[in-house]
Amino acid sequence: MKLLAISDTYIPYEYMRQGLMPLAAHGVEVEVRRWEHASLIELQQANLAIEQGGPDAVELPAALLAGVDAFQIVVVQFAPIGQRFLEAATSLRVIGVMRGGTENVVLEQATVRNICVLNTPGRNARAVAECTLGLMLAEIRNLARSHAGLRAGQWLRDFPNSAEIPELCGKTVGLVGYGAVGQLVAHYLEAFGSQIVACDPYFQGDPAPAQLVTLDELLCRADVVSLHARLTPESEHLIGARELALMKRSAVLVNTARSGLVDEAALIDALQSRTIMGAAIDVFDHEPLAADHPLLKLDNVTVTPHLAGSTIDAFRNSPRLTADHLIRLLDGQERVPIVNGIRPVW
């Protein structure tokens, strides 16, 4: 059995090769090919184009498709598996995606072809959760603004939230989406002494330490609203002008998930009008941000360049986690994160 892995700038060739090495003991021959970009920014732009326009919005180099009909398994992180790829990969039985989302795969066509698609849920959950907590603190405690002020020779003590600077202890934090990232954030906040509410219509089980509520109740109660939902057609612009108006004027919005969850124009209006106190944002509709972007002109927002999930640990561990899922799939085990309900016939 042959597996084609496509590395990228975030998960380079050697990480991919080493992480997938355990598959050799299960009769899988692994070949790694490089999807090259001049910089991380170029890769992020390609990924954003795929998220917004689908897998066929970005075309892979012809060299990456050479001889793909010989492979039964393909493993990627950001590389798109579009219609052209599927048409060429006539022997394909499994597509493994090294992240939680499968936006870079033409899922419907793969399902029609009876191809199993699996993901790697939670592979960078800890990285995103830790960054989320950092952004919460940076925004409510004015850490980034203070740092920038000192570098500019200013000893700042007056901020947009000067009358409302809180501690997380005793405050209510609302988590929109309660998967792997949201649950980690909840446990971190529990240690801070926060009250935690969460909204997730797909969650099953015991939500402790969070209390499950409706989205509207969460928005009305929370001092900090943090987004951790998956972006789907149903969740696009989940947070718009109506939802922002439900939030407390002293509340802060944090987004380390997907930009499409928020109506960016409505958020800018809410920040400019002080409908909400502030925001901390890691993801944007157009990346990188233009120098004249309205968010960069506001004094009540903390922005970071789409780095929440980007830790060396997350990238090194992703191929190994995917290899573990594939080994369980090959062994016929049940606990495999298949996203389209299809088990391969070898």
Q: Which CATH superfamily, name and number, covers 125-303?
A: NAD(P)-binding Rossmann-like Domain (3.40.50.720)
For residue 101, is pLDDT > 90? no
Q: What is the pLDDT of residues 19-73, one digit of tens each?
A: 999 999 999 999 999 999 999 889 989 988 998 899 999 999 999 999 999 999 9
Sign for the CA dihedral angle at 258, 7, 180, 277 comes to negative
- Identify the DSSP state of 341: S
* pTM as predicted: 0.86
What pLDDT is attached to residue 81? 97
As a whole number of angstroms, the longest Cα–Cα distance in the chain is 66
Number of helices (H), then strands (E), in the chain: 12, 12
Average pLDDT, the chain: 96
From CA 7, how far away is CA 136, in angstroms rounded?
33
Find the DSSP H helices in 261-343. Answer: 264-272, 312-330
Give the pLDDT mean for 170-178. 98
From CA 330, how far away is CA 323, in angstroms rounded?
10
Q: Token digits for 54?
A: 């689908």
From CA 125, how far away is CA 121, in angstroms rounded?
8
162 pLDDT band, cuts 50/70/90, is: very high
Find the DSSP H helices in the chain. Answer: 13-20, 40-53, 62-65, 83-88, 107-112, 125-140, 143-151, 180-192, 215-221, 241-246, 264-272, 312-330
From CA 240, how far away is CA 79, in angstroms rounded?
31
For residue 76, is pLDDT > 90? yes
CATH code given to domain 2-123+310-330: 3.40.50.720
Residues annotated as catalytic are 258, 287, 306
In percent, how much of the chain has pLDDT > 70? Answer: 100
Q: What is the location of CATH 3.40.50.720 in the chain?
A: 2-123+310-330, 125-303
Q: Token digits for 271?
A: 């920040």
Q: Which amino acid is at 98?
A: M
For residue 193, is pLDDT > 90? yes
